[in-house]
Amino acid sequence: MTQFRARRTWLVLGVVVAVIVLAGSGLLSPRTSVLVDDVAQLVGGATATAVCWWTSRRHHGVERRWRTLTALGMAGWTLGMFFWAFYRSVLHVPLPSPSIADIGFFMFPVFAVPALLSLVRESPRREAIGPIHLWLVLTLDGLVVVGGLFILTWTTALGAVVHTGPTGSLGFLVAVMYPITDFVLIAMVLLMVIGPKAVAEIREPLTFLGCGLVMLSLSDSLYAYLVAIGAESMPTIADAGFIAGPPLIALAALTKRTEPRNRDAPQQWRSDRTQLLLPYLLIAVIATIVTVQALIVGNLDAVVVILGVGVLVLALVRQILTLLENDALLQQISAAQDELRYRAHHDPLTELANRAAFDEHFASAIENYRLTNSDWVLMLVDLDDFKQVNDRYGHPAGDRLLVALTARLREAVPESAFVARFGGDEFTVLLQGPIDDAVVVARRIVDALSSDQTADTSVSVGASVGVAQFELADEPLSAHALLRRADAAMYEAKRSGKGAVVVYCDRRED
């Protein structure tokens, strides 16, 4: 398939070159050469329209949208070409400007701009800052590039032509609009080709599309120049861009999106950096050229000053949007980090602290006890007969029951207590205070968890609580020793009939 596409591309390019050489070789009579030129442009435009429309029917979503819009634009261009050919080959008007053909030609950029904007697909970047923001940034970048290219063209050639040409004529104003609209499209394609990873998948069709636009722009610029100097006809060779542009656009529609490839972070960073710096690099080049011209000529053209200020304002607005974009991305990253941090320390079902968070808080409590000798108590809460719920009603019912019991557990303990899910149906409670107060809290826990459970089960559950004080006279104080004693007290509570509270320190059932 790749070889077929390569042969197809070379065949199309070969035919285009052959037609251009034949029309501009001088071997044909002037009238025949113009006829071949017009027919080639008309056939190329009609073919590009048909190919874009046909390929759009074979795709969906964004792929269909940009091809459909391009087909509509090329249809308008082809209609304009029909009237242009009629003027030149039938009415024998060498340079029909202005004419009704201009209406059709200007339809192409009207549809091409939204076609290019539709190619900015969903991506992490777009999700972070929003499609409207991203399109606005792309538009500003395009305007900066277009303004810069126009300033360069004005200072090097177009300005002199305008000052000496028939600037007041409608034909001249219409002709100048062609290279300006082409600059807009070329700038957009350029920014997208060097753009983010989401556009890398369509870089090949964008390259063909960009080449087609460049060819159209070259001939449009020559056309504007000839109208500006008052030429009576347009040489056939100057239409080479009009002959080559539509077939290249057709090749863009025939080219499929490449499979996404995983690119490492440095490559992605370089791509984003290039897209960010391109408008400012162009501004630097413009400033250099304008400065050199001012030193040589001694003054600056009013058009250059006005456009230069406009480009700087656009660049400033673009910079503000970049700062807002970076702030949005930083906020998203911060929110994601907070979410990850929360998920790393909380149980996903009950939203209680998990084992990892309990270990950290337990270690801090032990350290606080060693430094201040304040009273601390560890409780180990185990649900009684909970396994019967899972066995009889299934794990979803057990999960719902756990969520309901967790809410009761939170209500039974003080706000200062630290509650964690220790295991499947085991919970831990860390409480700062005397042992007598802790026993009262433990009894409230037993009462809260021993009531009838949710309505969709009939199994009665309860809770056994083992209590251990942060006070070990016979061995060094450690988390392992405290957990072992709380666990032993809890199992003694279960052996004593369940639904009980046992304090390990004095081996007394309460």
Topology of 355-503 in CATH?
Alpha-Beta Plaits (3.30.70)
Q: Compute the average pLDDT of residues 224-238.
A: 77
pLDDT the model gives residue 266: 46
Straight-line distance from the first to the last Cα atom of the chain, in angstroms, rounded to the nearest whole number: 82
In the predicted structure, residue 407 carries a pLDDT above the cut 60? yes
Distance (Å) of CA 30 to CA 37, 178, 220, 233: 10, 26, 21, 11
Query: 467-497 pLDDT, tens per residue?
Result: 999 876 666 778 888 999 999 999 998 888 7
Tokens of 188: 């957009």
Query: 309-348 pLDDT, tens per residue?
Result: 888 888 888 778 778 777 877 888 888 888 888 888 888 8
Q: Compute the average pLDDT of residues 259-273.
A: 48
Contact 119, 202 (CB under 8 A): yes
Distance (Å) of CA 334 to CA 124, 131, 226, 327, 340: 15, 21, 58, 10, 10
pLDDT the model gives residue 44: 93
Contacts of 416 (CB under 8 A, 6+ apart): 431, 432
pLDDT the model gives residue 51: 94
Taking the CA atoms of residue 394, residue 399, residue 401 and residue 403 in that order, the dihedral angle to the nearest 10 degrees is -170
Distance CA 384, CA 374 (A): 32
- Give the SS3 label for residue 420: strand
Helix (H) / strand (E) element for 509: namely strand 508-509
For residue 426, the 8-state DSSP code is E
Query: 94-129 pLDDT, tens per residue?
Result: 877 777 888 888 888 878 877 776 765 444 444 445
Q: Where are the alpha helices (DSSP H) in 130-239?
A: 131-153, 159-164, 170-193, 197-200, 203-228
Q: In angstroms, how far is CA 141 from the centroid of its own chain?
A: 17
- What is the full DSSP assignment across 81-112? HHHHHIIIIIS--SS--S-THHHHHHHHHHHH
Q: How long a stretch of residues is the chain?
A: 510
Is the pTM higher than 0.85? no
- What is the full DSSP assignment across 446-473? HHHHTS---TT-----EEEEEEEES--S
